[in-house]
Chains A and B, each alone.
Chain A
Amino acid sequence: MPDPLSEQRNVYKGEPARAWLRLRLISPSDRVQELEFLVDTGNPCAIIIDTPTMQFLRWRGSMLTESNFGPLEGGWLRIAVPELALDVKTLGFANDSVVRIVQRSHPGFAGLVGLPFLRMVEYGGDRGWFWIRPLADG
């Protein structure tokens, strides 16, 4: 049985029910925003947030990529999950259309988390819950 303190376990929520995560995003000036994100293993971006949030939280800029929702503006973000002792800087993207569509599932979602982020942890789900844990090999 995993240590409950070393995992984050969330009941699906939204309409339709969606897997989600609570992530702590930390700005270069140490301002913290704790936000909820819809999880989609098919998303090729680690994280997608809206443009104002990116402007506020980004540590560095990065590349612009095209998508079927329009341009994705890259930026390096600091993401922490205290339960997992995870604290990383990773490449995320800003796109307001993606966030608006995600919010149709639940208005509380601040964006979308995808496979590049999920590969930094172990993840899984069952009938009622979605969870993440630290990688077994650290």
Chain B
Amino acid sequence: MNSNQRKNQDAFRKLKRELRNQYPSGRFVAFDDGQIVADAASFDELTEALAAIGKDRPDVFVVQAGVDYPDEVFILL
């Protein structure tokens, strides 16, 4: 994990609860350099928004507001 990914991961953890309150459930939210840089109703609209600010890059971090992302999962194989 590079430093940008770590910053984004940390920012997401800090803001997880606020995302739920500040954005409609399911909204796509993008982080870069540890900050929220764009949000949109769909993944493709978010891509357009990121392109408009010169951040259409694979290392930009994206989550959906209101989705319960578990901190740990158990995989049975």
Whether B9 lies near A67 (C-beta < 8 A) is no
A66's partner among B60, B72, B77 (CB-CB below 8 A) is B72
Q: Does B1 contact A (CB under 8 A)?
A: yes
- Tell me if B8 and A61 are in contact (CB < 8 A): yes
Q: Is A45 an interface residue (CB 8 A)?
A: yes
Q: Which residues on B sit within 8 Å (CB–CB) of A28? A: 58
Is A102 at the interface (CB under 8 A from chain B)? yes
The verdict on A61 contacting B61 (CB below 8 Å), with A73-B1, A76-B43 known, is: yes
Closest to A67 in B: B73
Which B residues form the contact surface with A (CB < 8 A)?
1, 5, 8-9, 12, 30, 43-44, 47, 58-63, 69-77
Q: What are 28 A-B pairs at a CB distance below 8 A? A: A28-B58, A40-B77, A43-B75, A43-B76, A44-B70, A45-B73, A45-B75, A58-B58, A61-B62, A62-B62, A63-B12, A64-B1, A64-B9, A65-B70, A65-B71, A65-B73, A66-B72, A67-B73, A69-B75, A73-B1, A75-B58, A89-B43, A89-B44, A98-B75, A101-B77, A102-B77, A112-B75, A112-B77
